[in-house]
A and B are shown apart, each in its own frame.
Chain A
Amino acid sequence: GAGVSQSPRYKVAKRGQDVALRCDPISGHVSLFWYQQALGQGPEFLTYFQNEAQLDKSGLPSDRFFAERPEGSVSTLKIQRTQQEDSAVYLCASRSTGRDTEAFFGQGTRLTVV
C-alpha cells in the first residue's frame, strides 16, 4: 500500500475486555515499531520487530500487552483485560533497512477504555 495502515481507527472497549490492534506496514519494510501516545503527550516506545523477530519489547508496560508479527509483515498488538490507563492512541511505524532511513507512521488507533 501507499503508507502504513492501522485498523481500527477507533476502538471503545469495556474495562476487562481484550482488544487487538492491527498494523499493515509499507510493503518490504523490515522494521516495525509500536508506540503509545497518551493525550497531550509525545509517543512512547512499546516494541520493535525486525522481520518476524521481536528484538526489543522493553517499552511494553505490563504482561497484559503482547505484540506479534508472525510472517514479518502485518503486526498485531494485543491488550488483555484492558484498564482505563490503557486509553491512548497506538501508533505503528515501519522503516526499510538502515537505521537512518525515515520511519513512516500510521494514523494510529485511538483506544478508549470505559
Chain B
Amino acid sequence: GDSVTQMEGPVTLSEEAFLTINCTYTATGYPSLFWYVQYPGEGLQLLLKATKADDKGSNKGFEATYRKETTSFHLEKGSVQVSDSAVYFCALLKAAGNKLTFGGGTRVLVKP
C-alpha cells in the first residue's frame, strides 16, 4: 500500500542554520505531495504542496521539489528561525483518492 517515510527527529538547529527534512514515498501512479506543520498547541496546517513531477512548492521560505525519479519530496529552508520550531509531516494524496497518507512526523527545535 501507499506509505510515506520521513527522517526521525528531533532535529535541533541554531537560528539561521539550514534545514533539510527528508521524505520519500511509495505509491502507484502520480500522487500529490504535501508538507503539513503542527506548531505547539495548534492544529495541522498546510505548509506547501506539489501536484506533479518537478513541481516546486514554496511558502514562508520553505521549499520542496517533487522528484518522481527518486520518489522524494524533501523539505528545505535556508535560514531557520526560532518560530519554525514545530513538527513537520510529509503526506501524499493518491491520484484517484481522497485521503491523505502521512509520514511519522519530524520534530524540529530551533535554538536562539
Contact = CB atoms under 8 A, between A and B. Distances in A.
B81 interface: no
A107 B43 contact: yes
B22 interface: no
Contact of A100 (B32, B36, B45, B89): B32
Interface in A1-29: 3-4
A111 B105 CA distance: 20
Contact of A48 (B4, B51, B98, B101): B98
Per DSSP, chain A at the interface is loop
A45 B100 contact: yes
Interface residues of B, number: 22
Contacts of B82: none
Contacts of B93: 99-100
B102 A42 contact: yes
Given A41-B104, A41-B105, A48 B99 contact: yes
Interface in A69-103: 91, 93, 99-100, 102-103
Contacts of B46: 102-103
Given A93-B44, A107-B43, 12 more contacts: A42-B105, A43-B44, A43-B100, A44-B102, A45-B101, A48-B99, A55-B98, A100-B32, A102-B46, A103-B46, A105-B36, A108-B43
Interface of B: 4, 32, 36, 41-46, 51, 89, 91, 93, 97-105
